[in-house]
Amino acid sequence: MSAVFDHVEFDHHERIVFAHDHQTGLRAIIGIHSTFLGPAAGGVRMANYTNMDDALTDVLRLSRGMSYKNALAGLPLGGGKAVLIGNPKTDKTPQLMRALGRAIEGLSGRYLAAEDVGMTLADMEEIALETNHVFGRDPKAGFGGEPSPMTALGVLLSIKTCVRRFMGRDDLGGVRIAVQGAGAVGADLARQLGQEGADVLIADVDPARAQAAAAAAGGQVISVEDVLFADVDVLAPCALGAILNDTTIPALRTKIVCGAANNQLAEPRHGLALAERGILYGPDYVVNAGGIINVAYEVSGNYDAARVIEHIQRVPRTLEQIFEEAADEGLTPDVVADRMAQRLIGRS
């Protein structure tokens, strides 16, 4: 495994914690990138990583992305992330969740956990048996519950902003949109796009999940092999990251990339590669902030869904500001977004 301080994705992270529990088999890494604006907040992701270096790379990138996301969303939160190593379908147990809860509790509130890929509302409740520093919990207890619908709402509003800027349209009627991933966010996004009149294509590694999402959206299923290269107006990546790379970008047939997946650019230079092809890119951590905005209102202890939605409706304004600065200065949107975020967290 690469030494942490020498790792290519290390970005002056404040703390990296490797958590292990012999009895439950817990293997987790918690990354705290910045607490400049407040406690580091970000989801717990469970995935069957090939090796520890892949897990470390993921937590370093994701925690930095959370710092940027929270800053540009105007939240009093820093950036953090936890990755739990294992297969979420076969390795997850209540005891494992509680062990992770104890590891989070050991950070004394420096890291606030929420739900991410591979985790569920029930998992958050199990973790909460060991720590109060966990959110995305049951609405019956005064929390915000599953944050995915709020994430999807922010992505929908961002897509409409991109379509307005690039295509000069205020509606999505007949706009052809490919959604990669029919998980909680992707499926809800597809449904909302369908309600807006878009022509929705959706793909997922689980055919039944893709079919259900397509039915709810009034759209159609497309294969996972073809979804990135479909002839569409908008590509909405809502699965895993690093899908915009040297192989995929030359083959894209879309005008706009705007989706919920984290870390869509495999490397920073790929933002320029998209621009050189005339493709408008909505920086992912700006677009997908709805979920963490939902969590932030839980953290405040005064959760109100109406206030959350009002806050999410500000996301398009931030996106427009990024596009305007990028156009004025001859830069790409991802570079401008990074620069804005770095100023906000005291790292410019």
Phi, psi of 224, rounded to the nearest 5 degrees = -65, -25
Same domain, 283 and 166: yes
With respect to residue 296, please indicate whether it lies within any of the assigned structural domains.
Answer: no
The rounded Cα 199 to chain-centroid distance in angstroms is 24
State the amino acid at position 197 in one-letter form: G
117 in the same domain as 53: yes
321 located within any domain: yes
C-alpha–C-alpha distance, residues 341 and 335, integer Å: 10
The contacts found for 140-144 with CB under 8 angstroms, 24 or more apart, are: 142/303, 143/298, 143/303, 144/294, 144/295, 144/297, 144/298, 144/303, 144/305, 144/308
Residue 301 identity: G
Terminal-residue alpha carbon distance, the chain: 30
**What total of structural domains would you count in the chain?**
2
107's tokens: 């950070």
183 and 114 belong to one structural domain:
no
Which of 89, 108, 134 terminates a domain? The answer is 134
* pLDDT for position 315: 98
List of residues 6+ apart from 116 with CB closer than 8 A: 42, 43, 44, 45, 81
Residue 218 domain-assigned (yes or no): yes
Closest CA to 115 of 293, 290, 292: 292
> Residue 136: its pLDDT value, please?
87
| pLDDT reported for residue 34 | 98
| Any domain includes 306 | no
What is residue 1's predicted lDDT score, i.e. its pLDDT? Answer: 54
Kindly state whether residues 187 and 210 are assigned to the same domain: yes
Identify the CATH number of the domain in which residue 256 sits.
Answer: 3.40.50.720
Please tell me which residue in 69, 81, 160, 255 is annotated as part of the active site.
81
In a domain, 24, yes or no: yes
Say if 295 falls within a structural domain: no
Asked whether residue 293 is domain-assigned, the answer is: no
Round the CA-based radius of gyration of the chain to a whole number and report it. Answer: 19
DSSP characters over 203-272: E-SSHHHHHHHHHHHT-EE--TTTGGG---SEEEE-S-S--BSTTTGGG---SEE--S-S--BSSTTHHH
- State whether 197 and 102 are in the same domain: no
Q: Are residues 278 and 170 in the same domain?
A: yes
260 and 203, same domain (yes or no):
yes
State residue 348's pLDDT score: 81
Alpha-carbon distance values, 35 to 182, 251, 330 (Å)? 33, 39, 31
Catalytic-residue membership of 81: yes
271, 184: one domain: yes
Q: Tokens 């949107």 label which residue?
A: 333
Helices 52-72 and 333-344, axial angle in degrees (round to 10): 80
Q: Is residue 172 part of a domain?
A: yes
DSSP for 192-204, please give it. HHHHTT-EEEEE-
Residues 121 and 223 in one domain: no
| Claim to verify: residue 211 and residue 86 sit in the same structural domain | no
| Pair 214, 334 in one domain | yes
Per-residue pLDDT of the chain (348 residues; tens, 9 = 90+): 558 999 999 999 999 999 999 999 999 999 999 999 999 999 999 999 999 999 999 999 999 999 999 999 999 999 999 999 999 999 999 999 999 999 999 999 999 999 998 999 999 999 999 999 999 898 888 888 888 999 999 999 999 999 999 999 999 999 999 999 999 999 999 999 999 999 999 999 999 999 999 999 999 999 999 999 999 999 999 998 899 999 999 999 999 999 999 999 999 999 999 999 999 999 999 999 999 999 999 998 889 999 999 999 999 999 999 999 999 999 999 999 999 999 999 998
CATH of the domain at 106: 3.40.50.10860
Collapsing DSSP to helix, strand or coil, 331 comes out as coil
Q: What is the pLDDT of residue 145?
A: 86
CA angle centred on 225, ends 54 and 172, rounded to 5°: 105
One domain for residues 244 and 279 = yes
* Residue 215 to residues 183, 218, 249, Cα–Cα distance (Å): 14, 5, 29
Other Cβ atoms less than 10 A from the Cβ of 244: the count is 26
101: domain range? 4-67+78-134
